[in-house]
Chains A and B, each alone.
Chain A
Amino acid sequence: GQQLNQSPQSMFIQEGEDVSMNCTSSSIFNTWLWYKQDPGEGPVLLIALYKAGELTSNGRLTAQFGITRKDSFLNISASIPSDVGIYFCAGPRSNTGNQFYFGTGTSLTVIP
């Protein structure tokens, strides 16, 4: 099925640093979702984007819906140890959003 490409695959950063990751698709999406997943748990929704060019914040997290509608970015400012986890982007296959495709994930490690 559709593959969303996430980069980087993994990141090792010092506590307090800012983080940036992105997600690209070969298809146009009308929604981008960003999730964080801790080991052994289900993904938790961080930010939802519904409009090209939209920039949305959730605390220290900021995500943008690319104007081409084929990409999205997630930034984390002033990282803390609890930011550790795997971050997934997701987008629906169609306007009805019946099926969501997920990226391969970005693994984030924060070194205290």
Chain B
Amino acid sequence: DTGVSQNPRHKITKRGQNVTFRCDPISEHNRLYWYRQTLGQGPEFLTYFQNEAQLEKSRLLSDRFSAERPKGSFSTLEIQRTEQGDSAMYLCASSLVNLRAVGNTIYFGEGSWLTVV
């Protein structure tokens, strides 16, 4: 399978614990995105990387959230001191942006469900 891969698919954690999600993008893609989705809503942008550089962060990304993409390949999203409001599906997506900028199309992984109890 050469699509975007995320793990774990499901995580249940106690409030106050830290959790980390991993994303492996499509191999030749240079951009990687993190989104959050709650029930009944569309995905909301959190942050994105161009290669290893984190270029934009949403105001939704509080100080307890940190994302890295150390070698420009896989990425991790860590949530510290989880709160019940963090319960959501965390989606990773990737895209290949070329110099012609004809159009950007993003491809999503299957998502990682987080439940904070």
Contact = CB atoms under 8 A, between A and B. Distances in A.
Q: Do A and B come from one complex?
A: yes
Interface of A: 1, 4, 30-31, 33, 35, 40-45, 48, 50, 88, 90, 92, 95-105
A36 B41 CA distance: 13
B114 interface: no
Given A31-B103, A48-B103, A88-B42, A99 B108 contact: no
Given A96-B101, A97-B97, A45 B107 contact: yes
A92 B40 CA distance: 21
A97 B40 CA distance: 24
Majority secondary structure, B binding face: loop
A105 B42 contact: yes
Nearest to A96: B101
Interface of B: 4, 6, 33, 40-45, 48, 55-56, 58, 91, 95, 97, 101-111, 113
Contacts of B40: 105
Which of B58, B103, B107: most chain A Cβ within 10 A?
Answer: B103
A88 B104 CA distance: 16
A98 B93 CA distance: 12
Contacts of B95: 97
Contacts of B113: 40
Given A40-B113, A41-B111, A43-B91, A97 B44 contact: no
A33 B104 CA distance: 9
